[in-house]
Structure 1
């Protein structure tokens, strides 16, 4: 295949990724795919799961490691870009917030969530991450998991996050970028009007999650996806040997956690730029 042909193939694949939720809804008749993230495994303090959740251990652990340092009991939380709802449902069940709201732009994803994830206080609604029809100061904590790399306007997304958070509310983001684009994301976060608290490179743990979850992903692809579409499904899923897997392994793509807080008066901060990992913003237990 020539270089020009490869360019056209990957342009097609990129467009295909954006409609993947709708395709999965057509293919996944038994609701086997409730997570669509790359997973996480760092070998530290594995979460204790119910037998029914064990099959999705590595995607669940991506959510668990992101929120586990925070008390969510009786809090109101929002996931922007909730996808097929597995992550938010796990958080709602495991961490006991007062309410958990998930929004996603894709109406088929929301239809799936409402059908398959039902619990008191668990809400799913269609919405655009860059223009969310919810009241100001509504949530104690907002999460965004492996989603914002697809957004056209990160600045508008972050403006919405700040608007929706209550004063002193927390924003947790985990996602990937090319190594070159990472600094751009960090600058966008630093100039968002929220105070950056911490950032962490979790690329190795995400790659390990993909390695350990490879058999399950390959099994799903072989059973659910028509043969002519499997090459794209393998790349989307990050299975071993796929371009996605190789990019994480080579660190062409890097995966990071970010933790920010909404404050009332940013001019009270005496630094020219927000400082990540400052002890001024966290207690001895690294809780914010």
Structure 2
């Protein structure tokens, strides 16, 4: 599957054609260089460290945090089960969009979140990319419930992609290290783009939305969830519309997510939970806030309305 993926890639920075050797890819136009690992390829253009040092510093922080999480999960012995890190979703009395009910016991709320944002979107036999794929839970669930033609998981953290590449047995799926603001695929490459709880970490949100628009085909759908400060909701919608995306659903599902955080708390603070792991707590700062445990800053801000968990569907017309 790696060779199949390599044939589809373009330069992250200039979208130029790539020349391939055994261990590297190099752009024929701008000379950017990328590395081919055993199971995956890294499409990060390290020149950004010089060109945009403040942005890259923030991205390095995200890579460090998620690498520590991967390490702590491996040490805890539950790494193979922890394929999701999102807050999850629990149905209540508001409007529901999912057309499939998950049958999972482990990670059920996280799978429900995916199925709810997907709703009735046509995914079967389509080309799908999960931007910010984390530990691959969404990729596995998309394959199980929707049977896409192809699946690509992109994440900026090498530890996440190494885990996904080693664990996944899906012939339809491939994974690569990449930047959501510089997606290494040509225009009109995908029918569906997914982004769950990841865009808050991107320094240039407008650039990310423009990249999503660029890689989607005409009629393609962007499935998107994010925890936003209340005053950022309208701004983010405006940026997406300026990028060319049309909003067809924009729903506040904060109560559903809060209920899921309540249900997840016992598991995540248990003996093997991520919030109880000394390695994670020591190296990721406020781990309770990171996973929105009850009483944490993010949890309380959702509870009092200062933050909203938005679930959106957008289309490239």
TM-score (ref. length: structure 1):
0.80
Measured in 2, the distance between the counterparts of 1:124 and 1:143 equals 14
| Secondary structure in structure 1 of the residue aligned to 2:70 | helix
What is the 5 A alignment of 1:104-115?
104-115=155-166
2:65 aligns to what?
20
Q: Give the equivalent residue in structure 1 for 2:287.
A: 233
Deviations 1:98-118 (A, max 9, x none): 111110111111111111222
CA distance in 1, matches of 2:183, 2:143: 21
2:132 and 2:155 in contact (8 A); partners too: yes
> Pick from 79, 83, 99: which aligns with 2:134?
83
Shift of residue 163, structure 1, vs aligned partner: 1.1
Please, which of 112, 121, 124 is the counterpart of residue 70 of structure 1?
121
For 1:249, the equivalent position in structure 2 comes to 303
Tell me, what secondary structure is at the counterpart of 2:236? helix
CA 1:65/1:229 → structure 2, altered by over 3 Å: closer, same or farther?
A: same
Q: How many pairs were matched up? A: 248
Aligned to 2:50: none
Q: Which runs of 5+ in 2 are unaligned?
A: 1-58
Q: Which is richer in helix?
A: 1
After TM superposition, the structure 1 = structure 2 runs for residues 160-171 of structure 1, keeping only pairs within 5 Å, are 160-171=211-222
Aligned to 1:100: 151
Q: Deviations over 1:239-269 (max 9, x none)?
A: 1111121111111110111211112xxxxxx
Q: Secondary structure at the match of 2:219?
A: strand
Query: What 5-or-longer segments of structure 1 have no aligned partner?
Result: 1-13, 264-288
- The structure-2 alpha-carbon separation of the partners of 1:231 and 1:128, relative to structure 1 and needing over 3 Å to count, comes to closer
Alpha-carbon distance, 1:224 to partner: 3.0
The offset of 1:92, in angstroms, is 1.4
The 1-side partners of 2:252 and 2:67 are apart by 31
Structure 2 distance, partners of 1:18, 1:80, is: 15
Task: Map Cα deviations across residues 205-253 of structure 1 (whole Å, 9 max, x no partner).
Answer: 1111111111111120355334646872111111111112111111111
1:49 positional shift: 3.7
Distance 1:195 1:229 in 2: 40
- Tell me which residue corresponds to 2:178: 127
Q: CA deviation at 1:70?
A: 1.3
Deviations 1:45-99 (A, max 9, x none): 795444xx31201111111101131121111111111111112211112111111
Residue 90 of structure 2 is aligned to residue 41 of structure 1: yes
Name the CA distance, whole Å, in 1 between partners of 2:285 and 2:211: 36
2:112 aligned partner? 61
Q: SS at 1:28's partner residue?
A: helix
- Alpha-carbon RMSD across the aligned residues, in angstroms, is 2.2
The answer on whether the counterparts of 2:87 and 2:291 sit within 8 Å (CA) in structure 1 is yes
**Partner Cα distance (1:170, 1:46) in 2:** 17
- Cα distance in 1 for partners of 2:215, 2:159 equals 24
8 Å CA contact 1:225–1:233 kept in 2: the answer is no
User: Relative to structure 1, is the Cα distance of residues 95 and 250 closer, same or farther in structure 2, using a 3 angstrom cutoff?
Assistant: same
Deviation at 1:189, TM superposition (A): 1.5
Q: d(CA) in 1 for partners of 2:108 and 2:131?
A: 22
